[in-house]
């Protein structure tokens, strides 16, 4: 199945359940414990009638970052210039680097998370006990980090259950 088919499934599900997803860029930073590269972090809001959940979402590293690249050198472009077109960015490279850059090999623009990308990352299955969780995902039961992750995953699943019915969650499980 092509990625566009998955996105269509996600959008159809949202339409059918009268649910809206919105995202707001927060920053580019380390997100997950152990991250070796930064990624774009968004505030995601999922709303259905009066029910709403809000959480942060770490986008994939490949889809993150706003920068110019020439050779091996990579210069971050301030987010305020995101609306500039490529020609304007090239002309204004002095503002970003303190020097005129010629030629710029690449202008990398971030990609906002898709509805499919967000829905596919949600916890859609009950986790069970902390011991079950550790056994299933290879965590140590003595780890504080594992306990923190377990609590976050349980909270996410509870939030999913607040937005959609059991039948709708089963349909959501089929999207990915």
Q: pLDDT tens digit string along 34-73?
A: 889 899 999 999 999 999 999 999 999 999 999 988 888 8
3-state secondary structure of 62: coil
Same domain, 81 and 46: no
Backbone phi, psi, residue 6, to 5°: -65, -45
Domain that holds residue 131: 3-62+111-173
Same domain, 102 and 123: no
Same domain, 101 and 116: no
What is the average per-residue pLDDT within 3-13?
A: 92
pLDDT at 81 over 90: no
Same domain, 80 and 140: no
Predicted pLDDT at 92: 77
Same domain, 103 and 152: no
Question: In 3D, which of 1, 74, 92 has the Cα closest to residue 38?
Answer: 74
Same domain, 73 and 104: yes
Beta strands at 73-76 and 67-70: parallel, antiparallel or unpaired:
antiparallel
How far apart are the C-alpha atoms of 154 and 167, rounded to whole Å?
19
- CA angle centred on 4, ends 10 and 174, rounded to 5°: 40
Percent of the chain with pLDDT strictly greater than 70: 95
């Amino acid at each position: 199945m092509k990625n566009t088919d998955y996105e269509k499934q996600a959008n159809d599900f949202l339409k059918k359940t009268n649910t809206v997803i919105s995202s707001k860029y927060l920053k580019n930073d380390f997100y997950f414990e152990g991250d070796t590269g930064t990624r774009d972090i968004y505030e995601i809001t999922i709303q259905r009638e009066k029910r709403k959940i809000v959480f942060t979402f770490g986008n994939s590293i490949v889809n993150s970052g706003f920068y110019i690249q020439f050779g091996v050198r990579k210069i971050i472009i301030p987010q305020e210039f995101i609306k500039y077109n490529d020609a304007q960015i090239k002309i204004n490279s002095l503002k970003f680097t303190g020097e005129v850059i010629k030629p710029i090999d690449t202008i990398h623009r971030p990609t906002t998370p898709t509805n499919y990308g967000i829905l596919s990352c949600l916890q859609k299955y009950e986790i069970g006990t902390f011991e079950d969780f550790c056994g299933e995902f290879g965590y140590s039961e003595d780890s504080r980090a594992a306990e923190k992750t377990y609590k976050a995953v349980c909270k996410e699943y509870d939030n999913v259950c607040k937005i959609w019915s059991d039948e709708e969650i089963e349909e959501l499980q089929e999207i990915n």
